[in-house]
Structure 1
């Protein structure tokens, strides 16, 4: 599982011109799933993101978590996070989980994030053509991958 975490002051996802999800202060999470992701990967990622101290405290130090600032989360499925550009110029997505595998894992991750944060999260729609807009705060952007837990 690979997630791009962006600290935002606002983010919105639209599908066919209609707002599907919208947050103010919080995290925009672009979520990529691979076929060998497990429940343990999902739990680890949800816990890590919920506790990640990347919001500024009163001394302007990144010392507060999403929970501390009572921020929101917007989760967007993003199979292109598993693009391979090793050969040629056209990316291959063979490392991304097929929808039959990815959808249940993504939906479970949404539930785990809601449990970790103690409130509902906003989402896009798996497989839809989504238009995502955001105002990146900082900017702060972090990439995490469950296959590289030792780096995080």
Structure 2
């Protein structure tokens, strides 16, 4: 969790994260941290679709998952615990939202959005690369990172 929050801080997105200890899912097989990604529609988008809306609107969960060390062992004849982390992504929901945004926007859609490629020649300097990527994103530059 410490590493996660350090990375969130480096990317400057801590204001977009909610740490909720009351979240529960799949209690019969999750053995550790669980997570859920919820898409929030910003106020300007909400008002375009519904003029009397004043607050951000939750579009809903688009991904979820967590740690489930015991799940694989349930199907293993020897009952071994295998360290596992998984995620489920609602691709249809995400594509539907992207299509709606594209239809509402008059911007030209490009097949390749990447403007800058950040590649690592070595495994060191992870924090520096993350800071660089964050700075480029904040400047509105579309970045692809390759490890």
Q: Bin the TM-score by the shorter chain.
A: under 0.3
- Which protein has the bigger helix share? 2
Which of the pair has the greater relative contact order for Cα pairs under 8 Å at 6+ separation? Answer: 1
More strand by share: 1
Which protein has the larger Cα radius of gyration, Structure 1 or Structure 2? 2
In the superposition, the TM-score normalised over structure 2's length comes to 0.24
TM-score by length of 1: 0.23
